[in-house]
Amino acid sequence: MFKVLIFPLLIGVVSCVSGDSGLATTIPSPAAINSEEPYLLTTPQGNTYLSWIERNDTLGILRYAQYRNGQWTKPVSITNGSNWFINWADYPMMAVNKTDMIAHTLTKSGQDTYAYDISLFHSEDGKDWRSAGLLNEDGLQAEHGFVTMLPYKDGFLLSWLDGRNTVSMMDSILTDHAHHKAMTLRAAILTSSGKKMEEWELDNRVCDCCQTSGALTANGPVIVYRNRSEKEVRDISIVRYESGTWTKPSVIFNDLWLISGCPVNGPRADAKENVLAVAWFTAAKGNASVKVAFSKNSGKSFTPPVIISDASPLGRVDVLLIDQRSALVSWMEGSEIRVMKVTVEGISGTSVFVAQSSGARASGFPQMTRYKDRVLFAWTDEEQKKVQLAALDMNDLM
Partner 1 sequence: MKYLIVFIAVITFFSCNGSRQSVEETQSVDASELSSMQLLNIDGSLINWQEVKGKAVFLNFWATWCGPCVKEMPYIEAAARALKEENIVFLLATEESTEKIKSFEQKFGYQLDLVRQKTSLASLDITAIPTTYIYNTKGKRVFAETSARKWDTDENIKLLKELMKKP
User: Could you list the residues that contact partner 1 (CB under 8 A)?
Assistant: 5-6, 8-13, 15-16, 87, 113-114, 169-170, 173-174, 176, 178, 208-209, 232, 258-265, 281, 283, 285-289, 310-315, 332, 334-335, 358-362
- Buried residues in 235-264 as b, exposed as e (16+ CB within 10 A): bbbbbbbeeeebeebeebbebebeeeeebb
Burial 294-306 (b: 16+ CB within 10 A, else e): bbeebbbebeebb
What is the closest distance, in whole angstroms, from the C-beta atom of residue 12 to partner 1 in the complex? 4
**Residue placing its CB nearer to partner 1 in the complex, 90 or 100:** 90
Nearest CB to partner 1, comparing residues 282 and 369: 282
Q: How far is the CB of 13 from partner 1 (least distance, A)?
A: 6
* Beta carbon nearer to partner 1, 174 or 398: 174
Q: What's the closest the beta carbon of residue 211 comes to partner 1, in angstroms? A: 14
Burial class (CB in 10 A: 0-12, 13-18, 19+), 26: exposed
Per-position DSSP letters for 180-221, written without gaps between them: GS-EEEEEEEE-TTS-EEEEEEEEEEE-TTS--EEEEETTEE
Minimum separation from the CB atom of position 124 to partner 1 (A): 35
The burial class, CB within 10 Å (0-12 / 13-18 / 19+), for 8 is exposed
Radius of gyration for the alpha carbons in the chain, expressed in angstroms and rounded: 21
Q: Residues 257, 266: contact at Cβ < 8 Å? A: no
Nearer to partner 1, 311 or 398 (CB): 311
Q: How far is the CB of 350 from partner 1 (least distance, A)?
A: 13
Q: How many CB atoms lie within 10 A of CB 354?
A: 23
| Residue 373, number of CB atoms within 10 A of its CB | 9
By beta-carbon proximity to partner 1, the closer residue of 74 and 285 is: 285
Nearer to partner 1, 175 or 243 (CB): 175
Least distance in Å: CB of 232 to partner 1? Answer: 8
Instruction: For the CB of residue 137, give the shortest distance to partner 1 in the complex, in Å.
Output: 23
Nearer to partner 1, 11 or 398 (CB): 11
Q: List Cβ neighbours of 328 (8 Å cut-off, separation of 6 or more).
A: 319, 320, 322, 339, 340, 341, 342, 368, 375, 397
Residue 273 DSSP symbol: T
**Least gap, CB of 76 to partner 1 (angstroms):** 30
Between 17 and 59, CB nearer to partner 1: 17
